[in-house]
Structure 1
Amino acid sequence: MEQLEFFNVPSPCVGVCTVDTKGYCQGCMRKREERFNWLFFTPTQQLHIIKLCRQRYRRKMANAKQDDALQNEPSNPQQNLF
């Protein structure tokens, strides 16, 4: 049984509608299906999608930090002996 929502869930769209290599919108991190069918989802489904978007964003930022750390690592041909 679904919980009743008394208010509409606003769309997470921020107006940056370009798709990354994984198929997620770079602005709101929704998949194509989630963007196109937003108005047809129940409020509970919409809130779940927003939760997924937050998780995707956090994962994307963590991967970006990890990539930056690897790129900034000095390339030393000699092994570290310590």
Structure 2
Amino acid sequence: MPNDPAPVPAAPLTPCIGVCRLDERGYCEGCLRTGEEIARWRDMGDAERRHFMRDVLPARRKDS
């Protein structure tokens, strides 16, 4: 239909909560990503981001 609004893109997945300090293990105190993961985040595809959010992050939370 010509009057349908354009679809709104989904917000990119991110675990960032705005607490950005690396701890002694090299993990961000807020999102538990490494500095390298933070730097690569924009270039990661959705599948890699979902893997991190679903599998990596919960495992790191358990170890914290």
TM-score range, shorter chain: 0.7 to 0.9
Larger radius of gyration: 1
TM-score (norm 1): 0.59
CA RMSD across the alignment: 1.7
Matched residue SS, 1:37: helix
Number of aligned residue pairs? 55
Offset, 1:9:
3.8
Structure 1 runs not aligned, ≥5 long: 1-5, 61-82
Deviation digits for residues 21-66 of structure 1, max 9, x if unmatched? 1100010000111111111001111111222122101111xxxxxx
CA pair 46-13 structure 1, distance change in 2 beyond 3 A? same
Question: Which one of the candidate residues 47, 56, 59 is aligned to 1:52?
Answer: 56
The answer to which structure, 1 or 2, has the higher relative contact order (CA under 8 A, 6+ apart) is: 2
Task: Give the percent of matched residue pairs that are identical in Structure 1 and Structure 2.
Answer: 31
Higher helix share: 1
Give yes or no for the alignment of 1:43 onto 2:49: no
